[in-house]
Chains A and B, each alone.
Chain A
């Protein structure tokens, strides 16, 4: 509640400074504590209010604890509530005095009035004092069985609170099992929803320590449980519906009939006024139909109108959240939204972040039919007084031009921008014209004519200046005064603060020199001299390099600086498709708003109840449930985890690493744990680069002629994940390993190298002795048909369990044989 941190703000004159007032309150509370005079409650109320208001503005009133507790002997419910609020806030910091409250709270837990029972139980569980947990178990147990649904509602969440104070106490008292029973039987849907929230949290956290918990967690996704929730859907409150929909989105239906039944049942949820319900439903629909391309596309069509309605109906904040999701969908399937482009037009009073999303969508949906109108609209924004948006709009026009729809007309518009003579418009446009010329050199004639008219003095922004200089160098032949413009720029070398511009200047003057030597010689000399004296290391080095190059041989210099260029066909995308898929998987979460997958901004322990965060060492190996669906889920869960860790590690190698999540203790503790996946991956990658992949195994097993594998097969983790989800298991076998093979597993890495020698590539691995889990893939040599393998090895029993999935099932047995024969030679020289 109120932050006791007093340092945060010096109290303003209107706010009491604290000390004096608090001791005053203390006196008054003491006087009232024992009083039974009529009207006492009213005076208490006033005093309590004062205490709470001090608490809110950040004054520490914890010293009143014992007085507050003394005064709480009352039947007045308003007083009680204020007292509970106070106690809940300060008990954690004062565990000794908190003990004082236990007595009256326990008494209130047995009150006749269910309201009081509920309130007292909630406060009791909110004390957050570890050594008081023994007092919670009894009242919580009674609360879960209370006849009143309000008390049960409080008790279910109370169990979760207890779990966070002392997990062991909660588990020992068998509360999760009681919650599960309530969840499946309670008539009150809010109790059911609370049970679900609590169990999801508890079992996800427990799953890393107990197999049973991870089984229970998977059982939440079993068909009977899911159907139970679906059947009661309409009884749930809108918020609980979101919770249930989120759960159902993780369920894997067995066939398409089931999918259609579920979608028919839930279709009216798309008309709900609560955007959270609609988005949760959309997520479910998208997930369900991932493997059914046609239906998936129909889902897009169906959800378009509800999404647009949500964008325009709520507060600006809500509509931003929905728009972010719409943005994601538009970016994934721009064609499906190409006729809706007018919805993405900006309104003048929208905020910057909304306009930015809309401009990106407009760029994405532009095609042959609407480009003219979209570009016309964008040009309006470019002339806008709102400068950041004007800039974004010009960039958008440029991007559309690079997409190659009717470049002709767009180039004309860009050139018109240059004629507007606004500094920022010119600057943005120059950068774009440069990119355009790199892609469409054929436009150079028109562009250069206009660019040549721009005085370099009017261009100040480094990026624009660099672009202009690049063009001067590249088109020195066409631009009459290029040498002289460059010369004047070099004269002002010392005033040029941007190293980027200076680097470009060096290169441009070199190019110019190679084409028009007599005119440029002087400028080149000046530039090289200035460059050699430059304090910036890169600039200095480049100048030196050019100088020596010219000394060495001018025609070599020509080849280095001015080689014939190929037009750039595609510019590098800023975000990998893998990351985009991850964001899509996390639809209806913050990942979409931030445009980053959750691991980039969330601590590991906060990734949500179902983000499968258990450590690799705890794979539930060999656990086969009777239900197929459940076992599929287990696989799914662990797969996710394995794949997750690979990509995460790759991520953490980047400069902006978020590696902290990875120093999880259980990882480093064990002495014989496998090497972290990324070192495996990278070492393999290097082997591959050096062409060592095939030479590692001294005696490669001759491959059966029936099946040749591609030694250079590639598959990115998300594609693997996708495929693994979609394909059925085609071969499932148990294989007994020979002792040498098991011995070799002391370094699991050796298996990976070994298998790669057989053109079977590892994509993820994990586990600790005796249990190891590996995922492999392989591709047929002659066609693009892929095999996926899950291989679970128990080194103490020498058993390996194989699950093979294949694009082409007819060859999967042959592949299995191949795999086993490869495995059989592990550890043999």
Chain B
């Protein structure tokens, strides 16, 4: 059970504060914020999500730059409280459409209304967006959509793929459409976060895909939905060690190490035809989370080299090759590499004709940055993009000449690196897991809701050692 719940802004202001049991002092938000802020100065890095000050346990999660915090004096399950905080954030987002400081400030009465029903005297009552609907009477005040930054997994789709209606995912579950009628639609997003570590000789040391099938339904009348995945999907890797790659690649089958499901999912026919059936509740929720350590083809190959080029000089060469089909484009690419601490100056040399690439040497933390971002231009009020994002099959090289303030002794490769890369690739998924079809039980003949099935691959950790 929890005692208090509150939301703090980045500056530590109370945006929402609800005391459920009155057994933790009122100044807890202040104590919490001070502790988090000064954690770093006490020698450690950032504050852990759970800590104890004078017998009070503080839990927090960071969501869109806000701190969602709960306090308690009892020895509760940390997973339960952290999950609850995350859920509260999601419920609030479902109701407000957009979750940020501004939207919460504008709608704090509605947020209090939600908090009253979600938790009573510290005990969780419900976090279901759907069930909460009958208790909520405030209308959300919608914040200006144009100003919002795209946040959260669904935000990924706002750029790039033009056919996605950008505002769809920022609709409140209770707000009425201007036209008076709700647009019937459903979004199914397959979001994969990949982690790959390449050895200095280019071998893959470890690789993992953490995927989730996220759903957000705006369908009225709660129709049943069937979601079919690859036929050859299998779960569990038997008795074999999960890193025993032999035989698993190349066969084409998608093998999940493990997965879990939302409670609304029925698995009755999953074993037979790999079909999930569910009646999607309102709001955004993960239908299924999965984890894959089966070897997959990494979307990028990284070649990085650092060489001594004289007593006070070295040269860095970073080469990136896109290994996916040319119809696909990765964007928001950023390559980073820590340089030796005595580096004073870096001069970059891009390949001839490179457009929209940005290079930088971050003096403060001695880090090289190479951005291959989309360049955005605002034309006649319309957002159009001229990209230099990486098209499949292409290769890009960066050369950098380093100047040192002192001679390096020993092995320079131990002083620099590893190279890490961040990117997002829409309409690509590393695992080949697919939603083969999305079937919605028909209510009437002319019931034909919009269905959006979208894929995206993001980096969790993409590292090449040198």
Residue positions of A touching B, CB distance < 8 A: 1-5, 8-9, 49, 52-53, 56-58, 77-78, 81-82, 85, 89, 92, 115, 122, 128, 153-154, 157, 160-161, 190, 194, 197, 237-239, 242, 246, 270-276, 278-280, 305-306, 308-310, 312-318, 320-322, 324-325, 339-340, 342, 345, 347-353, 377, 380, 383, 385, 388, 419-421, 586, 588-594, 598, 601-603, 606-608, 611
Contacts and interface: CB of A to CB of B under 8 A. Distances in A.
Contacts of A239: 80, 84, 124-127
Nearest to B74: A606
A347 B460 contact: yes
Contact of B242 (A314, A316, A340): A340
Contacts of B134: 115
Nearest to A324: B78
Contact of A603 (B18, B29, B73, B263): B73
B79 A590 contact: no
Given A317-B61, A317-B82, 12 more contacts: A3-B30, A122-B120, A157-B123, A161-B121, A270-B260, A309-B258, A313-B286, A347-B461, A385-B338, A388-B44, A421-B409, A589-B77
Given A160-B121, A588-B79, A598-B75, A57 B241 contact: no
Contacts of A274: 83, 263
9 contacts: A2-B17, A57-B14, A81-B116, A239-B126, A305-B257, A312-B210, A383-B414, A601-B55, A607-B75
Given A279-B77, A305-B258, A590 B52 contact: yes
A270 B260 CA distance: 8
Nearest to A322: B79
B178 interface: no
Interface in B132-173: 134-135, 137-138
A279 B50 CA distance: 17
- A-B pairs, top 7 by smallest CB distance, nearest first, are A347-B461, A317-B49, A3-B26, A305-B258, A352-B45, A276-B80, A239-B124
Contacts of A2: 14, 17
Contacts of A160: 121
B290 A309 contact: yes
Contacts of A377: 205
B216 interface: no
Nearest to B366: A385
Contacts of A1: 17-19
Interface stretch (B105-113, B223-231, B397-405, B443-451): B105-113
B208 interface: yes
Contacts of B289: 273, 309, 313
Given A52-B108, A309-B291, A312-B210, A318 B83 contact: yes
B112 A321 contact: no
Interface string B34-46: 0000000000111
Contacts of A92: 22
Contact of B109 (A82, A318, A591): A82
A310 B62 CA distance: 18
Contacts of B409: 421
B135 A351 contact: no
A52 B14 CA distance: 12
A3 B14 contact: yes
B55 A603 contact: yes
Contacts of B434: none
A377 B463 CA distance: 13
B375 interface: no
Contacts of A154: 120
Q: Which residue among A53, A237, A388, A419 has the maximum number of chain B CB atoms within 10 Å of its CB?
A: A237
A590 B260 contact: no
Contact of A273 (B46, B60, B263, B414): B263
B437 interface: no
Contact of A586 (B75, B236, B291, B463): B75
A321 B78 contact: yes
B210 A313 contact: yes
Nearest to A268: B267
B76 interface: yes
B415 to A, nearest CB: 8
A63 B138 CA distance: 26
B14 A306 contact: no
B190 to A, nearest CB: 14
A311 to B, nearest CB: 9
B465 interface: yes
Contacts of B16: 56
Contacts of B311: none
Interface of chain B, main secondary structure: mixed
B188 to A, nearest CB: 16
Given A52-B108, A242-B80, A309 B461 contact: no
B1 interface: yes
Nearest to B460: A347
Given A339-B241, A353-B45, A589-B78, A421 B410 contact: yes
A575 B19 CA distance: 37
Contacts of A56: 14-17, 108
Interface string B94-133: 0000000000000011001100100011011111100000
B48 interface: yes
A419 B411 CA distance: 10
Contacts of A419: 410
B15 A279 contact: no
Interface string B57-78: 1011110000000000111111
B206 interface: yes
Contacts of B183: none
Nearest to B72: A606
Q: Which residue among A115, A197, A246, A312 has the maximum number of chain B CB atoms within 10 Å of its CB?
A: A312
Contacts of B77: 242, 246, 276, 279-280, 588-589
B257 A308 contact: yes
Given A1-B19, A2-B17, A3-B26, A313 B73 contact: no
B222 interface: no
B303 interface: no
B220 to A, nearest CB: 23
B195 interface: yes
Nearest to A586: B75
Contacts of A194: 120, 123, 125
B442 interface: no
B296 interface: no
B458 interface: no
B86 interface: yes
B312 interface: no
Contact of B79 (A279, A306, A421): A279
A305 B237 CA distance: 10
A405 B223 CA distance: 60
A308 B134 CA distance: 37
Nearest to B111: A56
Nearest to A597: B75
A350 B44 CA distance: 14
B187 interface: no
A590 B242 contact: no
A591 B138 CA distance: 40
A115 B134 CA distance: 9
B126 A190 contact: yes
Nearest to B461: A347
B258 A590 contact: no
Given A153-B125, A154-B120, A607-B75, A314 B86 contact: yes
Contacts of A271: 259-261
B113 A81 contact: yes
A271 B262 CA distance: 9
Interface string B227-258: 00000000010000111000000000000011
A312 B260 contact: no
A351 B45 contact: yes
Contacts of A380: 418, 465
A157 B75 contact: no
B362 to A, nearest CB: 12
Q: Which residue among B123, B206, B289 has the maximum number of chain A CB atoms within 10 Å of its CB?
A: B123
A371 B128 CA distance: 47
